Chains A and B, each alone.
Chain A
Amino acid sequence: MNHEEIKAVVQEKFLSSEKVTAFLCDAKVLHPDWVKKERLLAIVEYGDEKAVFCLFTSCYPPKSFTDLSVEIVLPVDNTFKCEIDNKPSDPEAILYLNLQSRNNKFKFEIQMTPRVDNFVDDLFRGIEAVNKLQLQPEFLWLKKYNGKNEDDILAHTMVAPRGGVTHMQNSAPVAIRESLIKRKMSDKENDYTFTKKFTVFCGTWNVNDKSPVIPLKGWLSVDKEPPDIYAIGFQELDLSKETFLFDQTAREDEWYNAVLGYVDRRAKYVKVEKVRLVGMLLIVLIKEKHFSHVRNVICDTVGTGIMGKMGNKGGVSIRLDLHNTSICFVNSHLAAHVEEYERRNQDFRDICNRTRFIQPNQQPKGIKDHDHIYWLGDLNYRITELDPQSVRKLVSENNFLPVLERDQLKQQHKNGNVFSGYTEGPITFKPTYKYDPGTDNWDSSEKNRAPAWCDRIFWKGNNIIQLAYRSHPPLNISDHKPVSAIFMSEIKIIDEEKYRKVYEEVIKQLDKLENELIPQVKVDITDIDFGTVKYLELQVRTITIKNTGKLPVEFEFIKKLDEASFCKEWLIVEPYKKCICADETCEIQLKVLINKTSACKMNAGIDKLYDILVLHLYGGKDIFITVNGTYERSCFGCSIEVLVNLNKPVREIPVGKLIELESKRDQCISNHSTYSIPKEIWFLVDHIYLHGLKEPNLFEQPGLHSEVLQIRDWLDTGSIDPIPGSIHSVAEALLLLLESTADPIIPYNLQSVCLRASANYLQCKQIIMELPEFRKNVFLYLCEFLQEALQHSAENGLDSKTLSTLFGAIFLRDNPNVIQEPQSRINKQVIDKKKAHFVYHFLTNDHSDLIFAR
């Protein structure tokens, strides 16, 4: 089968107004709960709306649309996403197509072929088009594809990830599990069934618009034993216009009652079902004692007459389950006229393709989806290549063989054009058409038609033996003679006890499979020790996750109960979410960086370098990854009140002591303090004062990060060596230190007051006078130093405006814990200007009065 032929089959699955615009074979759906079997992906267009269908096919390539069942429907709307991953390294050129629509995500594995390009192009065109629409389409046409509303489609196909460890629902699509159980059970059918022989009577008669005015006993009740099942088909029950147009006729009841009256009297029969379309009537009866074992009786009709759908020709069918065997009876009346055998072949195919038995909550069944099929009717095939006189002569001599060789149906059947897979028994009776009604004489009308075996019975299925195949000439009211066949058919009967055992076994196997399919990974290290971690010094560790399971695994680091984020603020995890294919690995980088925010918390003992991360596998387990390290305490991130109390370098202060001081920093009383400003600030300022006042681009040129870190260690250890690094590194360290203090130099709660006062020097001075002791000291000390620096502006290039902007941002730091109103950029500029203005006063005015006021 080529691509176009398969496409035609796929198209048949849809209405003609729903056009299959592109499709792909061999798409494997990657989902832990689903069988990784080939699917077909089709893009179907209805007007302006498009949807992607994932179709499961029972055989490959699909021969008929009944082989296909719709599994997933993804409407292409503005939530629709299509992503393609490929691995160039893969020799087989495998692509992964990720499709997403309304929270439903699916991943398909497909072979790279030129068709994929067409498919993806078509899809992207659809996405582009839908995103341009003002109003989103409603996709009403999709509703019928599961008989319920669209939300049900979505619920059905939903893959429910567990949002966090607190949401435990893990409901997987269980429909697939059900179908797996069914398939496994049917594979093992022989283990829990035994067979019993049933006799099936099939009869067909084209009654040529006649009422049942003669007894039918000679047709229906001529055998030694009464059959278990009757399937009786009539054609041309009523040729009136009314019947044709309105599909109503009184003949249905007449013939039905006649059948009931003339079936074998030795047994009691009950109706299984009857179904009629215009002149075609099919009646199925069963012995009363078997009736309780009949289930799922469904009928359907297909018209293939005028315009390919009217009911003057076509087929009517009844399907049922008898014990554990599914049976389908078809009564058909195919196209007439000698030369129209191709048309008859087509009618047969149409009936096969269009007959659908719809059961609630199950995939519709076609005729072929049955263990036993009996097909009877006026199939209308004629004798060609032989003139009527010769036929009549040969037949009258009971020399059927040369005539049968020219029977169109035998020829077409042999060539595989019709009834492929079906069997017909040997014909040993005279042609059943065309007689003068009321006689056994061949048609004497002007047309003088050649006799033909129009009325036939075929069967398909294992363990069916035909016992008789005959016509019944004495029933002569029509221009056709009735035909009947008796079959001995083996019906599978369930041994309940064995069934139960096999069922339990299957369930157990599936449980095992399900547990095996739970995603499995190996993580090389679950305990990560960062050792000593220092302020502003990034440290990186790598862990490797290997997918040891059979399916792709999607992992994500998830939040713990009542936590805002999946990890602490000082930790960065990259990637925190990814999909890993089977046998592949993924490296995850864990980076620790202690910045001013986390340093303050570490110093105060509010936080420590310890965290447990929850690595969640979708549809599977969680793995805990422990991260820990020791934070090397530093003057960075300490509060000014604590620093002035430290008469030793920070590292020499016991951790506990530092935490205690930090937690009580509000209670520090000036009289007991060692210094009036932190010695670390003094060291840095003094160094610049002595060595760097004339340094060009002072405070403007950045220092070296490595030197800043050396300066940090120098301050923290109280080294007796000279301060390392360049003036610029020292200046940067000073700025970083001032920025990192646990509280800003001007408390957060005074910020708005300062901004309002920024135009008025006297008010600004007033605010400074009221600052907490040490912060005031630091503020004035730095301002004095900056004034000094400005004296050398000729060499260092400083100007008071630049300096006030720089230090304005440091002195009047924004509170990181207050979520800022989304400020417009202009508003932010205004605030920054006011901060600068505030500081500007103290860089340009003499404020020695404030110092002496102390």
Chain B
Amino acid sequence: MSSGPYNYSYIFKYIIIGDMGVGKSCLLHQFTEKKFMADCPHTIGVEFGTRIIEVAGQKIKLQIWDTAGQERFRAVTRSYYRGAAGALMVYDITRRSTYNHLSSWLTDTRNLTNPSTVIFLIGNKSDLDGQRDVTYEEAKQFADENGLMFVEASAKTGQNVEEAFLETAKKIYQSIQDGRLDLNAAESGVQHKPASTGRPLAAPPAKNDNCAC
């Protein structure tokens, strides 16, 4: 058989965060299944999705952790930030309160991830332009001031969803190329897997001391 590596060279870990009901799970579902999930139940915990994408000819496996947005779970979901290479921070353009909480989400992200983690701001539900409560310009300014990447997207129509996930990956990949992201750092959120060997990453030994018993 021929051309190209069959396998991925990297694994990037993403987290999706933001207030309850902004559409985090729908964005994930749209990205992995290319479908809109109507009547999506609230996430009670952390959902998990994966997809293989290609950046600059390299196959990259995205491992995406979609977190519960409810305030009461905030303390628990903080456990999941560690080791994320990308953070998708989502608000709902039709609900200003979800936008107002961004600074608190941003603080958590900055505190709990490493400096090279790429943070991408997504204003979801762009299909509901008529009910808009936050202008594009305002959010864009917030993103610029905080050095975030930004798009308005719609998990319903799929608009910009692919872009948000892919642009994040491109930025992470750039960081690797520039040497800004240290792959050896335990918490880089990136695992490198030399594609040529066709072997999986040597997995770390099971951490028995972490078992709750």
Which chain A residues numbered 484 to 526 have a C-beta less than 8 Å away from chain B? 494, 496, 499, 503, 507, 510-512, 514-515, 518, 526
Q: How far is the CA of A847 from the CA of B180 in the complex (A)?
A: 77
* Other-chain residue from A152, A494, A560, A620 in contact with B2 (beta carbon distance below 8 A): A494
Which of A174-182, A277-285, A339-347, A730-738 lies at the binding interface?
A174-182
Measured in the bound complex, the distance between the Cα atoms of B65 and A620 in whole Å is 10
Q: Fill in one digit per residue for A549-581: 1 if any B CB lies within 8 Å of its CB, else 0.
A: 000000011111100011100000000110000
Chain A residue nearest to B29 (CB atoms) is A515
What residue of chain B has the Cβ atom nearest to residue A516's Cβ?
A: B33
In the bound complex, do residue A511 and residue B50 qualify as a contact, i.e. CB atoms below 8 Å apart?
A: yes
- A560 to B80 Cα, complex, angstroms: 9
- Looking across the interface, which residue of chain A has its beta carbon closest to that of B77? A624
Neighbour of B50 across the interface among A515, A559, A566, CB < 8 A: A515
Judged by a CB distance under 8 angstroms, whether B197 is at the interface is yes
The smallest C-beta distance from A195 to any residue of chain B, in angstroms, reads: 15
CA of A716 to CA of B207 in the docked complex: distance in angstroms? 47
A560 touches B1 (CB 8 A): no
Please give, as numbers and ranges, the residues of chain A lying within 8 Å of B80 by CB-CB distance. Answer: 165, 168
Q: Tell me which residues from 597 to 640 in chain A have a Cβ below 8 Å from any Cβ of chain B.
A: 612, 614-615, 620-624, 626
Interface assignment of B68: CB less than 8 Å from any CB of chain A: yes
Residue interface bits B46-65, CB-to-A below 8 A is 1, else 0: 11111110000000000101
Asked whether A186 lies within 8 Å of B44 as measured between CB atoms, the reply is no
Q: Are A172 and B200 in contact (CB under 8 A)?
A: yes
Q: What does the 1/0 interface line of B107-144 toward A look like (CB < 8 Å)?
A: 00000000000000000000000000000000000000
Which of A163, A166, A181, A512 is the one whose CB lies under 8 Å from B211?
A: A163
Q: Which residues of B contact A620 (CB under 8 A)?
A: 48
Stretch at the interface among B3-11, B93-101, B162-170: B3-11
A171 within 8 A of B: yes
Chain A residues positioned under 8 Å from B83 (CB to CB): 166-168
The count of residues in chain A whose C-beta lies closer than 8 Å to any C-beta of chain B is 64
Tell me the B189-209 residues at the A interface (CB within 8 Å): 189, 191, 193, 197-209
**A158 at the binding interface (Cβ < 8 Å):** yes
Question: Mask for A154-170, Cβ within 8 A of B = 1, else 0?
Answer: 01101111011111111
Q: Are B32 and A155 neighbours in the complex by a CB distance under 8 Å?
A: no
Query: In the complex, are the beta carbons of B210 and A576 less than 8 A apart?
Result: no
Flag whether A185 is at the interface (Cβ < 8 A). yes
- Closest A residue to B4 by beta carbon equals A503
Rounded to whole angstroms, the CA-CA distance of A656 and B56 in the bound complex is: 61
Q: How far is the CA of A614 from the CA of B213 in the complex (A)?
A: 14
Q: Counting CB contacts under 8 A, is A173 at the interface?
A: yes
Known A175-B199, A624-B45: A168·B3 in contact at CB below 8 Å: no
* A561 close to B78 (CB less than 8 A): yes
Determine whether A362 belongs to the interface, using a CB cutoff of 8 Å to chain B.
Answer: yes
Q: Which of A163, A172, A558 gathers most chain B CB within 10 Å?
A: A163
Cα of A503 to Cα of B11 in the assembled complex, Å? 20
Q: How far is the CB of A62 from chain B (nearest CB, A)?
A: 23
- Give min CB distance, B203 to chain A, whole Å: 4
A156 vs B152: C-alpha distance when bound (angstroms): 42
- Report the minimal beta-carbon distance from A293 to chain B, rounded to whole angstroms: 9
> A156 CA to B200 CA in the complex, in Å?
6
Q: How far is the CA of A747 from the CA of B9 in the complex (A)?
A: 62
Q: Are B199 and A361 in contact (CB under 8 A)?
A: yes
Contacts of A494 in B (CB 8 A): 2-3
Instruction: Evaluate contact between A160 and B2: CB separation under 8 angstroms.
Output: no
Determine which of A170, A361, A510, A561 lies in contact with B197 in the assembled complex, contact meaning CB atoms within 8 Å.
A361
Q: Is A324 interfacial (CB-CB < 8 Å)?
A: yes
Residue among A556, A560, A565 making CB contact with B79, cutoff 8 Å: A560
- Beyond A186-B1, A515-B32, A576-B213, whether A622 also contacts B206 by CB under 8 A is no
- Interface bits A165-209 vs B (CB < 8 Å: 1, else 0): 111111111110110011001100000000000000000000000
Interchain CA distance A177-B45 in the complex, whole Å: 28
Contact among B4, B46, B200 with A173 in the assembled complex (CB-CB below 8 Å): B200
CB <8 Å contact, B4 and A165:
no
Q: Are B211 and A556 within 8 A (Cβ)?
A: yes
A621 lies within 8 A of B45 (CB): yes
| B151-168 interface with A by 8 A CB criterion | none
**Contact among A561, A615, A621 for B47, CB-based, below 8 A:** A621
> From B189, which residue of chain A is reached at the shortest CB distance?
A168
Are B211 and A526 in contact (CB-based, < 8 A)? no
Distance A557 CA – B50 CA, assembled complex (angstroms): 23
B206 close to A160 (CB less than 8 A): yes
A169 to B202, CA, bound (A): 11
Chain B 1-34 near chain A by CB (<8 Å), digits 1 or 0 = 1111011100101000000000000000000110
B7 touches A177 (CB 8 A): yes
Do the beta carbons of B203 and A158 come within 8 Å of each other?
Answer: yes
Chain B residue numbers with a CB within 8 Å of A615 are 45
Q: B46, A621: Cβ atoms under 8 Å?
A: yes
Q: Is B38 an interface residue (CB 8 A)?
A: no
Task: Assess the A565–B212 pair: CB atoms within 8 A.
Answer: yes
Is B6's CB under 8 angstroms from A182's CB?
yes
Known: A173-B200, A511-B51, A623-B44. A164 touches B210 (CB 8 A): yes
Residues of B within 8 A of A164 (CB): 79, 207, 210-212
* A103 CB-CB contact with B under 8 Å: yes
Mask, A387-418, CB within 8 Å of B = 1, is 00000000000000000000000000000000
Contact A168 B48 (CB under 8 A): no
B53 CB to nearest chain A CB (Å): 9
With A169-B204, A361-B198 in contact, do A518 and B48 touch (Cβ < 8 Å)?
yes
Which residues of chain A have C-beta atoms less than 8 A from B11's C-beta?
171
Q: How far is the CA of A169 from the CA of B83 in the complex (A)?
A: 9
CA distance A361 to B46 in the complex (A): 36
Taken together as a complex, chains A and B put the C-alpha atoms of A557 and B51 apart, in Å, by 27
Residues of B contacting A163 with CB < 8 Å? 206-211
In the complex formed, the residue of B with least CB distance to A151 is B202
- A167 and B52 CA atoms in complex are apart in Å by 21
Q: Is the CB–CB distance between A155 and B203 below 8 Å?
A: yes
Q: Is the CB of B212 within 8 A of A499?
A: no
- B193 contacts across to A, CB distance below 8 A: 174
State A704–B78 Cα separation when bound (angstroms).
Answer: 46
Return chain B residues, CB-CB under 8 Å to A624.
44-46, 68, 73, 76
Tell me whether B171 is interfacial, beta carbon within 8 Å: no
Contacts of A295 in B (CB 8 A): 2
Nearest to A161 among chain B residues (CB) is: B206
Contact B198 A511 (CB under 8 A): no
A324 lies within 8 A of B72 (CB) = no
CB of B202, distance to nearest CB on chain A (Å) = 4
Asked if B46 and A626 sit within 8 Å, CB to CB, the answer is no
| Chain B residues, Cβ within 8 Å of A175 | 198-200
Given A174-B7, A324-B1, A494-B2, CB of A168 within 8 Å of CB of B206 = no
> Chain B, 63-97, contact with A by CB distance < 8 Å: what is the 0/1 string?
10100100011011011101110000000000000
Contact present for A168 and B13 (CB under 8 Å): yes
> With A178-B7, A361-B197 given, is the CB distance from A165 to B204 under 8 Å?
no
Interface-central residue, A168, A295, A362, by most chain B CB under 10 Å: A168
State in angstroms the CA–CA spacing of A158 and B202 once bound together.
8
With both chains docked as a complex, state the minimum distance between the C-beta of B58 and any C-beta of chain A, in angstroms. 14
Q: Could you list 9 examples of A-B contacts with CB < 8 Å? A: A156-B199, A169-B191, A169-B203, A510-B52, A514-B50, A556-B212, A612-B75, A624-B46, A626-B72
Closest 7 A-B residue pairs measured CB to CB?
A163-B207, A566-B212, A163-B210, A160-B203, A561-B79, A623-B45, A164-B210
Point out residues on B near A: beta carbons under 8 Å.
1-4, 6-8, 11, 13, 32-33, 44-52, 63, 65, 68, 72-73, 75-76, 78-80, 82-84, 189, 191, 193, 197-213
**Further pairs besides A166-B82, A182-B1: 14, Cβ < 8 Å:** A152-B202, A155-B200, A161-B206, A164-B211, A166-B210, A167-B204, A168-B84, A169-B204, A361-B199, A559-B210, A560-B76, A561-B82, A624-B45, A624-B76
Give me the interface of A with B, judged by CB distance under 8 Å. 103, 152, 155-156, 158-161, 163-175, 177-178, 181-182, 185-186, 295, 321, 324, 361-362, 494, 496, 499, 503, 507, 510-512, 514-515, 518, 526, 556-561, 565-567, 576-577, 612, 614-615, 620-624, 626
